[in-house]
Amino acid sequence: MSVYNGRLALRNRHYVVIDLVCFVFAAAASFAIRFERVDAFTVEQGAALFLLLVVLIKPLVFFSWGMYQRYWFDAGASELILSASASVLSGLLLTALVFAGTMILREPELSIPRSIPIIDTLVTLTLVVGNRFSVRAYNHMILRRRSTRPSAASRAKRALIIGAGMSGTQVLNALGHEPGRLTAVGFLDDDPAKEGTLVRGVRVLGKLSDIQRTVREYEVKVVVIAMPSAPGAVIRRLMHDCQEMRIEYHIMPGVFNVLSGNSPATIGELRRVSLADLLRRQPICLDTSDIHAKLAGRCVLITGAGGSIGSELVRQIMGYGPARLLLVGHGENSLFALESQLKEEKCAVPYHLLLADVRDAKRMERIFEQWRPQFIFHAAAHKHVPMLENNLVEAVSNNVISTSVLISLCERYDAERMVLISTDKAVKPTNVMGMSKRAAELLMLSASAHKPGRYAVVRFGNVLGSRGSVVPTFERQIAVGGPITVTSEKMTRFFMSIPEATQLVLKAAALNGIGTLFVLNMGEPVPIIEMAKDLVRLSGLVPYEDVDIKVTGLRPGEKLYEELFWDDEHHVPVEQGAIFVVKNGDHVNGRGAALSAEIEALIGAARSYDEDGVRTRLERIVFTGTTHERSNGHHSVQTIG
C-alpha cells in the first residue's frame, strides 16, 4: 500500500492479503454467530476442516474470476457485480461441499452445521465489497476536499455544468482531478426529478433557462455544456446566452460519438453535430400512413439505389411490405455497399441488385419485361454543378435520356406510378445541371398530361448529408483545422434532411390525383456562410479563431440563390402546409407535340456527341415561353417567345 497525492493506492497484491484475512475472519465470525460464542471457532468440531475449505476454494474462485486484475480506484457497478458474484459463487461451492460432506462422512468430529457456509457467504460479501469500495469512497472524499480547499478554490475558475447526466458527471470527475483550474459550483438540468438534488455532492441549481441568473448569482466564469445529444436549437440558445454575458463556454462531445469514430480528428474538443441542428427550423415529419396501401405487395424499382437518397428509399420502402425490390445502379461499388447493409439488417423483402445503366433502353426493357415493376422511383442522376458545366453531353444523357427511357417503359408496361427526383436548380437555371433536370421535369409534365396520376416530380433543395453535399465537405475541413471554403458571403440555399427528402418522394407516390409536381416547405433559405459558422460553433469551436472561413468566389454555373418556383407556377399547400403542389405553368401547357420533337432532337444530338447542338436545343427547351435570361459567363440567351 502507498499514498499518492493524498490518495490511497492499493495494488492487487495488497488485496490478496486483505482478502485472505477477510476469509479467515468471515469463517470465525460465522461460527461465532451460529453458536453465539466468541470462542466457538476454536472449540467447535469441524472448524478446522471448514477453514481449510475456505482458504482453498475462495482464493481459487477469486483468481479465476479476475478479482485481482481490476483497477479498484475507479470501481463502479461492474466491479460491484463482480465482487458479489465471486463471493456468492465461492459460498455456493462451500455450501455444496458441506452438504455433501455431512451426508457422506457422518463423522461427528468433522461435522459442520449447514448454516455455517451461508453465514460465511454473507459476511465475506460484506467484507470484500466494503474493503474495496471504502478505499474508493475515501479517495473520492480526498478529491472533493482538494477541489473545495480555499487555496484551490481561490485559484480555480468557477464553472457551471449544463447537464447533470452521464456527460456532466464525467466533467465533474475531470474537474476533481485538476482542482487548481476549474471548480464546479453546480449543474443546470431540465429534468424536474434532478432539480435541487445532489449529483456526486454538487447541487442541481435549476433549469437551463436559469443560466443567466445562475451565472450572476454564483459568479460563474466558465460554462461547460455537457449535453452532446441535445438539439441544435438548445445548444444555440445556450451559446447565445454565454456570448451575451461574455463568459467562456465549452461544448463536450459524447463519449459514444468519440468511440464510434463520428467525432472529428480533435477528439475531446468537438461535439458531433446532428444534421437537423443545421436546418434552423423544426424537421418536417409527414403522415406516411397512406403509403403502405400503395406499396404493400407491389413490385418497386429504384434507380440510383446505391446513392444517398436511393439507399434511404430502399430502407424506408422495406418497411411498407413490397412484394419485391428491384435495385438498379450503374456503380458496382455503391450497389455492393447497399447489399452489405441489407444483409446486416436482415432484409426480409426479396430484392434484386441489377447492375444497369438507365440510359440503356434495351437493358431496362429486359428488366421491365421480366419483373413488371408497378412503382418506379427515379433517383439516378448526375448532380455536381461545376463538373457538369464541362460535361454537357453526359449531363443530358444521364438526366434526360434516362427519364425518357423510363417514361416509355412505364407506358408500354402500364406502371402505376413513376416519381422523378428533381432539384430547385431546375428553376430559372444558370447551369447545365439545372437545365438538364428542367428538361426531365418537362418530359414528366408532358407525360402526365396524357396519363394523369401516373407521373410525379419532386423538387429538392440541397439535401444535408447526401454524397458530395456541402456539410460533409465542411466537416472534413473542420477536422483538419480548416479553413472552411465558401464561394460567396451572399450565397443562400434551401435545405432538407435525407429523411425529409425520402418522405417527400414516398408521399408523392401516394398523392396522385392532386397534381404532378411537389415541393417540400423548407422555410427560409439559409446563408451558406452562416451554416459554416453554425457548424463550427456547434462543434465547440470559434469561427475565425479556431477554424478560419475563406471566400473563394463563385464556381462555373453556380447561382447566389435558388428559387423553388417559376414565376408562372401556381403552388398551393397540402398536408397541413408541409408540401406545395405546383400547378403547371403556362409555358408548359400547349407545347405537346412540339416539346416531344424538341426532346427527341436533344436526345439525338446527345447520342451523336454534338455539344453545340445539345446546348442550343437544351436552352430552347428550357427557356421557350419564359421571361428568363440565361447567362453562362460567355454569352446570354434571350428567351424565345
Q: Where does the pLDDT of residue 279 fall: very low under 50, low under 70, confident under 90, or very high at 90 and above?
A: confident
Strands 484-486 and 549-551, by their bridges, are parallel
Determine the average pLDDT of the residues in 626-636: 47
Q: What's the predicted TM-score (pTM) here?
A: 0.63
Determine the average pLDDT of the residues in 570-595: 77
How many Å apart are CA 461 and CA 333, to the nearest integer? 26
Contact 471, 532 (CB under 8 A): no
Q: Where does the pLDDT of residue 412 fall: very low under 50, low under 70, confident under 90, or very high at 90 and above?
A: very high
How many Å apart are CA 118 and CA 95, to the nearest integer? 7
Contact 147, 182 (CB under 8 A): no
Q: Where are the alpha helices (DSSP H) in 105-184?
A: 115-148, 150-155, 166-177
How many Å apart are CA 512 and CA 350, to the nearest integer? 26
Report which of 391, 386, 448, 382 is spatially closest to residue 421, judged by C-alpha positions.
Answer: 382
CATH 3.40.50.720 in the chain: give the residue spans.
149-252
Neighbours of 429 (CB within 10 A): 26
CA 56, 62, 66, 71 dihedral sign is negative
pLDDT score for 4: 41
pLDDT in tens, 503-531: 999 999 998 888 889 999 988 898 999 98
Mean pLDDT score of the chain: 83
DSSP 49-80: HHHHHHHHHHHHHHHHTTTTSS-GGG--HHHH
pLDDT score for 629: 54
Strands 462-464 and 495-497, by their bridges, are parallel
Report which of 214, 331, 278, 312 is spatially closest to residue 539, judged by C-alpha positions.
Answer: 278
DSSP 529-592: HHHHHHHHHHTT--BTTTB-EEE--PPTT--S---SS-TT-EEEEETTTTEEEEEPPTTTTT-H
Q: Which helix (H) or strand (E) covers residue 495, if one does?
A: strand 495-497
How many Å apart are CA 58 and CA 54, to the nearest integer? 6
β-bridge mates for residue 183, sequence order? 158
Does the bond joining 322 to the residue before it have cis omega, within 30 degrees of 0? no
Residue tagged 428509399 (cell numbers): 313
- Secondary structure tally for the chain: helices H, strands E: 23, 25
Q: Where does the pLDDT of residue 631 fall: very low under 50, low under 70, confident under 90, or very high at 90 and above?
A: very low
Report which of 517, 519, 539, 535 is spatially closest to residue 527, judged by C-alpha positions.
Answer: 535
Q: What are 639's three cell numbers?
A: 428567351
Residue 244 burial (C-beta neighbours within 10 Å; 0-12, 13-18, 19+): exposed
Strands 248-251 and 222-225, by their bridges, are parallel
How many Å apart are CA 177 and CA 173, to the nearest integer? 7
pLDDT in tens, 164-185: 888 888 888 777 655 567 888 9
Report which of 549, 548, 501 is spatially closest to residue 522, judged by C-alpha positions.
Answer: 501
pLDDT in tens, 200-235: 778 899 999 999 999 999 999 989 888 877 777 787
CATH architecture designation of domain 149-252: 3-Layer(aba) Sandwich (3.40)
Residue tagged 458530395 (cell numbers): 468
Contact 97, 106 (CB under 8 A): no
Q: Supply the angle between the helices 308-318 and 332-344 in degrees, to the nearest 10.
A: 30
pLDDT in tens, 583-620: 765 455 556 678 888 989 999 999 999 999 999 999 99
Report which of 168, 169, 158 is spatially closest to residue 227, judged by C-alpha positions.
Answer: 168
